[in-house]
Structure 1
Amino acid sequence: MQAFTFHLDFVSPYAYLAFEQLPVALEGCSYAADYRPVLLGAILKQYGHAGPHGIAPKYAWVLRQTRWLAHAHGIAMRMPAVHPFDPLPLLRLALACSQDGGISRHVAGRIFAHVWQADGADANDAQRLAALTRELAPRLDPASPEVKALLRANTARTLEAGVFGVPAFTVGQDMLWGFDALPMLRARLLQDAWFAG
């Protein structure tokens, strides 16, 4: 069985699409996925790079392309009322359900659905966040120093692995980036000889 880390931030539509498409892309592979929430804004800041919303034509393209990708792959997706939004409340909620900085596919899926399958609702609406928190029943307080430390540690380790955006996948020493890297991830997990060259 091959293991890999899926680095994600719930604010990224590409991370959501990759999360939804992952079981299809890796069908027939034997793998273990370690889902790691990270703060995309801190990663972009480290490289001195603005998010796509900082460049109006690029952001318009992101919105159009992600809608197309959702349509083409049969993935339900609705833009939240506010985007980009502050992902910290959702990242901390996810990590409040964690023991070591990794989260289950169930937790990741519920939070992604909260953002991207909610008919355009506000991802940070207080009532919706409270309901999601009750549903997930985290073991820690999302505002606790322990949770904040987990997010900082995840983001630091992600940067150390050479990740510059999300979604990203690390397998051994290999880092693969983006929704369109899913076929490459599959090949890597199947130990395609290309990776040894």
Structure 2
Amino acid sequence: MAAEKIPRFYFSLRSPYSWLAYRELLDQYPDVAAAVEWRPFFEPDRESERMLTERGGSFPYAAMSRAKHLYVLQDVGRIAKERGVDLVWPVDKDPVWEIPHLAYLVALRGGQGPEFIAAAYRARWEEGRNICDRSVIAGIGAGLGLDPAEFAGASDDPRLRAEGVRLLLDIDRDGVFGVPFFVHGFSRFWGLDRLPGFAAHLRARTAPARGLPEPVAGAVGAGKRATDDGHAGGCG
């Protein structure tokens, strides 16, 4: 399958809508979850932003207004209650999102990408823990049987920084402006409420002739731009 035709799921460990989409994807659409390429979406810190700009890229981000923030708190709480999901709101203090998202690349390299995502989402949204705390990320790494120091120091690794910038460039090229975001060819689906449509779209275009495409091994990265930070069902 051509790279531009590989279905992709852009997820963020920061976003509650992405967390809810992740749960729904695994619970209701496991065939789709197995077929998509999972790609992390994260807001760059100053160093990553500098590197991104030097390579001609940009990150589509607009700060969320207070009114919108309050709405998201209400909306996510409502959705979680409807789904019978226990939610614990974390408190972010000067977060650096490279810390958990580049640690995901370490887990992916160690064959534990899905397990890391599950553990990080659980820590953040079910336990209210700060996943930008290096000790929390180190603990997740240790729980996966991998080197906790590699997880804690992922954002300091120049190679992982470079890989993160490449992923940010892909986000720019793929026109991703918020999460959860689903891409297949020229088709784009943004938001938790678009997941059923994406699943139907993908299934209709891959079945019955050959079924869904095989999942991409070691799935991260290939891929223009828009600007918004989110809405009910999707956020930046």
- Deviation of 1:61 after TM superposition, in Å, equals 0.3
SS of the equivalent of 1:7 reads: strand
TM-score of the two chains, using structure 1 as the length reference: 0.80
Offset from partner CA, 1:96-124 (integer Å, 9 cap, x none)? 1234xx97322211111121111x33333
SS of the equivalent of 1:46 reads: coil
Residue matched to 1:130: 138
Residue 89 in 1 paired to residue 99 in 2?
yes
Residue 20 in 1 paired to residue 20 in 2?
no
> Kindly tell me: are residues 60 and 72 of structure 1, through their superposed partners in 2, closer, same or farther at Cα, counting changes over 3 Å?
same
Residue 6 in 1 paired to residue 9 in 2?
yes
Equivalent residues in 2 for 1:63-82, closer than 5 Å? 63-82=73-92
Equivalent residues in 2 for 1:106-117, closer than 5 Å? 106-117=115-126
Looking at structure 1, the residues matched to 198 and 94 of structure 2 have their Cα atoms a distance apart, in angstroms, of 27
Q: Number of residue pairs matched? A: 186
Looking at structure 1, the residues matched to 94 and 194 of structure 2 have their Cα atoms a distance apart, in angstroms, of 23
Residue 188 in 1 paired to residue 214 in 2?
no
Residue matched to 2:72: 62
SS of the equivalent of 1:190 reads: helix
Q: Is the 2:17–2:192 Cα contact (8 Å) retained in structure 1?
A: yes
Looking at structure 2, the residues matched to 5 and 174 of structure 1 have their Cα atoms a distance apart, in angstroms, of 11
> Kindly tell me: are residues 87 and 29 of structure 1, through their superposed partners in 2, closer, same or farther at Cα, counting changes over 3 Å?
closer
TM-score of the two chains, using structure 2 as the length reference: 0.68
Residue matched to 2:113: 104
Q: Which runs of 5+ in 1 are unaligned?
A: 193-197
Pairing partner for 2:40 from 33, 37, 47 = 37
Looking at structure 1, the residues matched to 120 and 187 of structure 2 have their Cα atoms a distance apart, in angstroms, of 27
Looking at structure 1, the residues matched to 120 and 24 of structure 2 have their Cα atoms a distance apart, in angstroms, of 16
Looking at structure 2, the residues matched to 108 and 177 of structure 1 have their Cα atoms a distance apart, in angstroms, of 20
- Deviation of 1:145 after TM superposition, in Å, equals 1.4
Identity %: 22
Q: Which runs of 5+ in 2 are unaligned?
A: 53-57, 206-236
RMSD: 3.0
Offset from partner CA, 1:31-89 (integer Å, 9 cap, x none)? 5122111224569x634x4232xx11110001111111111122332111227833221
> Kindly tell me: are residues 130 and 105 of structure 1, through their superposed partners in 2, closer, same or farther at Cα, counting changes over 3 Å?
closer
